Amino acid sequence: MNLSIVIPCYNEERNIRAGALEKVTDYLKYQSFSWEVLIVDDGSTDQSSLIVQKFIQKHPGFSLIKNPHQGKAATVITGMLKAKGDYILFCDLDQATPITELEKFLPWTQKEVDVIIGSRKTVRQGAPFSRILMARGFIFLRTMILGLGSITDTQCGFKVFKKEAAAALFNKLRLFKEMRKVDGSMVTAGFDTEILYLAKKLKFQIKEIPVNWHYVETRRVNPLKDSWYGFWDLVKISINNLRGLYD
């Protein structure tokens, strides 16, 4: 198997200095399959890009892609469409879901599964009450609006795609079809939801696997603003579907 790993990066200096990338390379160097790691920088304003450049000079297999600041969705899309692996994982740099959880996914790459997603189920270890409340509210809304009740956790940032599935899905996204510069951090629930909604509509086989996850403190989530954006994204996905944009 040839695996690509796409890691979005926006102002991750603290996590990089804390050894997040070393955890990735320490796991991969013992694997029998070939791999590449694409770190996609989302126009970071701290030292993230410089530190990553120094890291990849000493670690073959790692590469850096520089994007203008467009938000996490655009960053992941860039990496997913440039990845060359037979299977492509995208995961968060902060290692909230440790890279070692990939072990649970590997057996399913030998089966007729197109999309393998990590699931925290109802467990949000270490997360503040506001984040738990947001998650439960979003589960209710996505079930009511899009009928995605069969998927427990659409938002876990640890997902593996067959190359063919990735090409079909990431080229067909509508919410983020036009890449635009944004101000500050931008994380929207609609990105992961649209991917999985499309996967189900296009009849790709999806496997959800429980993973270990621990909340990593961040200042990037605004409960009120992000909840509103998440709800509006669900509405837009539903409208896109009614307009036949996903056919």
Please provide the DSSP assignment of the chain as one string: -EEEEEEEESS-HHHHHTTHHHHHHHHHTT-SSEEEEEEEEE--SSSHHHHHHHHHHHSTTEEEEEE-S--HHHHHHHHHHH--SSEEEEE-TT-SS-GGGGGGTGGGGGSS-SEEEEE-TT--TT--HHHHHHHHHHHHHHHHHH--TT-S-S--SEEEEEHHHHHHHHTT-STTSS----SS----THHHHHHHHHHHHTT--EEEEE--------S---HHHHHHHHHHHHHHHHHHHHTTTT-
Residue 15 has pLDDT above 60, yes or no: yes
Residue 247 forms part of a structural domain: no
Q: Is residue 37 part of a domain?
A: yes
pLDDT for the residue 226:
74
6 lies in some domain: yes
Is position 19 within any domain?
A: yes
- The residue range of the domain holding 207 is 2-242
Confidence of residue 201 (pLDDT cuts 50, 70, 90): very high
Q: How many domains does the chain have?
A: 1
Residue 186 domain flag: yes
Domain CATH for 35 = 3.90.550.10
pLDDT in tens, 29-67: 999 999 999 999 999 999 999 999 999 999 999 999 999
Q: Quick check: is 71 in a domain?
A: yes
